[in-house]
């Protein structure tokens, strides 16, 4: 009987710890309460969907910095909806946001999910550290190190889930229910800021939902 009590107590403690470490964030609620700071974008609710927000397309990159949320290391889970529009769909998450132009990000190019050419297949998912290490600089100087092919890519016009593991030195990216990481990179900086935000690239819109942080 005593062992059963101890086991039950341990279970309760573990559940409490897990609940404490996991934070679900409603992006629509954050938006409605002016808790998303839009940088070079407008952000709105996505159509009649009550669980998603949308960033419009504009020249340059755009960020929606989420206020009153801190993340240093752990796991970011989020769902993205891009589109099969070559050169016009770059969607991801920014972290370690130090200012409007200095941050790390993981992003996807959904239009390459259906690419036939091998060179485009290799450009499906990308790590960057702006403003110093843009995708162009990394592709030129560190070819193949910071972007990769997804062996089982999702439909570019459907929602997909990204699971991003961030520690002090590395970033690992997973997608949907695939157990193997689709990208593993050494970070090009250390954590300076705990700010995170939704992100879209040059000329790109994007839709976001179901953000969860686990630390």
Taking 60 as the threshold, does the pLDDT of residue 16 lie above it?
Answer: no
- Residue 141 within any structural domain of the chain: yes
Tens-digit pLDDT profile for residues 40-70: 999 999 988 889 999 999 999 999 999 999 9
Tens-digit pLDDT profile for residues 174-185: 999 899 999 999
Taking 60 as the threshold, does the pLDDT of residue 111 lie above it?
Answer: yes
- Residue 110 within any structural domain of the chain: yes
- Residue 16 within any structural domain of the chain: no
Q: What is the Cβ-side half-sphere exposure of residue 139, based on CA atoms within 13 angstroms?
A: 12
Q: How many domains does the chain have?
A: 1
CATH code of residue 120: 2.60.120.560
pTM of the model: 0.89
Residue 4 has a pLDDT of 54
- Under DSSP, the state recorded for 133 is B
Residue with tokens 């969607």: 91
Q: Is 85 exposed, middle or buried (0-12, 13-18, 19+ CB in 10 A)?
A: middle
- Residue 9 within any structural domain of the chain: no
- Residue 3 within any structural domain of the chain: no
- Residue 10 within any structural domain of the chain: no
Specify which residues 104 forms β-bridges with. 95, 129
- Residue 89 within any structural domain of the chain: yes
- Residue 14 within any structural domain of the chain: no
**Residue range(s) defining the domain that contains residue 84:** 24-214
């Amino acid at each position: 009987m005593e062992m059963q009590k101890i086991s039950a107590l341990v279970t309760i403690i573990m559940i409490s710890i897990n609940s404490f470490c996991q934070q679900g964030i409603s992006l629509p609620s954050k938006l409605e309460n002016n808790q998303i700071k839009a940088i070079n974008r407008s952000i709105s609710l996505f159509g009649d969907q009550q669980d998603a927000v949308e960033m419009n397309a504009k020249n340059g990159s755009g960020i929606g910095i989420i206020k009153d949320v801190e993340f240093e290391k752990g796991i970011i889970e989020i769902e993205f909806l891009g589109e099969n529009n070559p050169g016009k769909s770059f969607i991801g998450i920014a972290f370690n946001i130090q200012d409007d132009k200095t941050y790390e990000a993981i992003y996807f190019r959904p239009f390459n999910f259906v690419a036939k050419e091998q060179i485009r297949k290799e450009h499906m998912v990308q790590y960057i550290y702006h403003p110093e290490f843009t995708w162009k600089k990394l592709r030129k100087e560190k070819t193949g190190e910071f972007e990769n092919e997804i062996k089982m890519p999702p439909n570019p016009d459907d929602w997909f889930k990204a699971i991003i593991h961030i520690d002090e030195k590395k970033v690992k990216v997973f997608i949907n229910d695939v157990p193997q990481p689709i990208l593993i990179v050494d970070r090009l900086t250390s954590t300076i800021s705990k700010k995170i935000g939704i992100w879209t690239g040059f000329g790109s819109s994007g839709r976001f939902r179901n953000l969860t942080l686990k630390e």
